[in-house]
Structure 1
C-alpha cells in the first residue's frame, strides 16, 4: 500500500465577530500577568483585540472613520499602532481597559501599501507617501525624517506595494512592476534592486538571523533571497498551484514560512529551500493576512498561526511545532 501523507490539521479554533473582511492580524505579546491576545483590523474600520483564552473580542477600537484598516502592530506594553485608508496612522493606549487615540499622523496616501515599524531605539514607521514615495516617520517626534523615491532615470518601478524594515537604516520595498529594492534610509539611497516577480509584489518578510527575505506577488511565485553587502541574491523559489499571495510570514525559529493565498488556502513551506509542506484549507474566500505567535503559555508554549480572510473569520492553527 502506498504511503499516504498525513492529513492537514483542522484549525484549533476560529474567531468570529468581525463585521467585514479581516485585512490584518498580529499577535500581541503576553506579559507575566496577562494571557496572549491577537490584534485584527477589518474593512469596516475596526481594530479588535481578541482574548485568546476566552476566544472572544476583548476591545473594539473605532478611529478610522469606517475606512478599511490595513495594518496593526503592537508598539510596547499597552500601546498599539494602526493604519487606515482614511489616510491616518493612529497610535492607541489600550492599557487597563483604555481606548485612547494618543497620536494621529497623516500618511498622505490612500494606497493599499501597509506600513511597517522598526522598534530599535526611537520607533520608526515606513509609510506610503504621495507620488510613489515611502516616508520614514519618527514616531516619538511625529516628524517625517526622509522620503524614498526611485530616481526618474531608473526603470519605472510603479507604486510601492509593501515595505519591510531590516534595521533602523535599511528598508526593503516591493514595487508594482515586480521589483524588490533595498534602501539605505540614512543616505536615502537605493542600494540594489532585483526584478523578482512578473507582477506586483504584494508582501515581504525578512529574517534577521538568517539574513534572508521572502516575497509574494500577484504572480505564481514565492521567492526567497539573501541580503548582503553585495545586495539582493535569489536563493530559492517555489511555484504555486494558483497565483496570488496577499501575505507571507516567517516563523521565529526560521523553520517555516506561511503564505496567504488569493485561492483561500494557507500554504506552509520549509524556510531553508521553500519546500512545500502542507496546504491548510478552511476559509472560503481570499486570505489577506497570516502571522505566527511567539510561544504561548495557554497553548503549552506552542507557536500558533493566525490567518484572517475576506470571509470575516480568523482561523488559528497549531502546525509543526518545535518539540
Structure 2
C-alpha cells in the first residue's frame, strides 16, 4: 500500500521580526509581502529575493500592529495597517520605502466593555480589503473601535446607504465597516467625509422587531462585500462572541437577512470566496465550517463542518481561484483543504508557536503563514496551471 507523500516544507522562511507576527498580506500586482508584528512594526518583503525591502514602526510597541492589507481598492502603492491603539493608517509605498499619507480621523468610536475576561488568542484579526471596482486615491486614518476585541476593519468601494436607513446611490464611495460602540454593533463609515453611514443594527428603523446584537456579545470579525446580485449595495457578514454569524444588507439595517450559529465558541475569522457565494468560518471551538450564501433566499447554509483534534482557529483564508483554503491554528499547525469539496489535503508543521494568520497571493502561487514564533513561512502549494 502506497504511503501518502509527506507534507511539504516551506520554500522560504522570512526572519527579522522581533515579536509575534500578527498578520500578512500580499501586494495584488507586485512580488511584495506586507507583515505586521505585535511590537508595532510593519515590514515589506521582496518575495522573489526573499529579503526585507523596508520597515517602519506603524504603531506603538504598547499596542502593536494588529493587521495589514493591500488591495486595488486603496491603490496600487498603498497599504493599510491597523493597531490596538484604535487607528487604521494608510501608507504609501515609495521606492521600496513607506511614508505615511495625510489622514482624516473618524472620531467617537470607543469600546464600552471590559475585555480582560477574554483569552489572549481571541484577539485575532483579519483586516482584509475586499476587491471591487478601481476607485480614486484614498488618504485616511480611521479611529477604529479602540480596545475592541476583534478590531476588524473592512474597506469596500461603492457603498450605497445613509445614516437614517434610507438608500441613495453615490457614484463612488469608499466605506469602512468596523465594530462600534457598543462593541456588539457594526458601523459603516464614509472615509471621504468621515461620516457614519449606517449602524448594524439600525435602532431607528421602522421595523418594530429590531435584532439585538448585545445578546450575542462582542463582534469578533467582519467581512464586508458587494454581491453581484445586490445592485452595488454593501453586505456585511459578522461573527460574534457567542458563536453566531449574521448576514446584513444595508438596505435593511434593522435586522440581518439571516442569523445562524454554527459554533459554540467565539467566531474568530470569516473568509468569503471570490464569488461571495460561500466561505469558511474559524472559531475558538474545535470546528471549521464551510457554508454557502443563498442570495435569492438570504440564507447562510452549512455545507460541511470538520472537527479538529485541538480547538482554536485564528484565521481562515481562501485562495482567489476558489480551489484551496487554509487555516491557521492555535496548535501551531496550518491546515490545507480542497475548498470546493471540503476535503483535507495537508497539515503543515513548520511553526513552533500559535499560527496567527495565513494568506494567499493574488496569482495563487504562494501562501504565507505567520506565527507567534516571529517567523513568516512561504509555501508553494498546488500551484495553478499556466
- CA distance 1:98–1:252, change in 2 (3 Å): closer
Choose the corresponding residue for 1:163, options 208, 219, 222: 222
Q: Which sits farther off after the overlay, 9-18 or 122-131? A: 122-131
Asked if the contact 1:109/1:130 (under 8 Å) is kept, the reply is: no
- 1:94 counterpart SS class: strand
Per-residue deviation, 1:158: 0.5
Which one has the bigger strand percentage? Answer: 1
- CA distance 1:78–1:239, change in 2 (3 Å): same
Q: Which sits farther off after the overlay, 143-152 or 6-15? A: 143-152
Q: Where does residue 313 of structure 1 map in the other structure? A: 375
5 Å-filtered alignment, 1:136-155, equals 136-149=188-201, 151=210, 153=212
5 Å-filtered alignment, 1:132-281, equals 132-149=184-201, 151=210, 153=212, 156-167=215-226, 168-189=233-254, 190-209=256-275, 211-228=277-294, 229-230=296-297, 231-281=299-349
| Distance in 2 (alpha carbons) for counterparts of 1:153 and 1:127 | 17
Q: Where does residue 61 of structure 1 map in the other structure? A: 56
| Distance in 2 (alpha carbons) for counterparts of 1:155 and 1:147 | 13
Per-residue deviation, 1:236: 1.2
Asked if 1:72 corresponds to 2:68, the answer is yes
Per-residue deviation, 1:64: 1.7
- CA distance 1:92–1:240, change in 2 (3 Å): same
Per-residue CA deviation, residues 171-225 of structure 1 (Å, 9 max, x unaligned), is: 0000000001101124323111101101000000001426011100011111011
Choose the corresponding residue for 1:110, options 134, 139, 147: 147
* RMSD across aligned positions (CA): 1.8
Asked if the contact 1:109/1:128 (under 8 Å) is kept, the reply is: no
- 1:213 counterpart SS class: strand
- CA distance 1:119–1:192, change in 2 (3 Å): same
Question: Gaps (5+ residues) in structure 2?
Answer: 104-140, 159-171, 203-209, 227-232
Structure 1 segments (4+ residues) deviating >6 Å? none
Question: Gaps (5+ residues) in structure 1?
Answer: 296-301
| TM-score, normalised via structure 1 length | 0.91
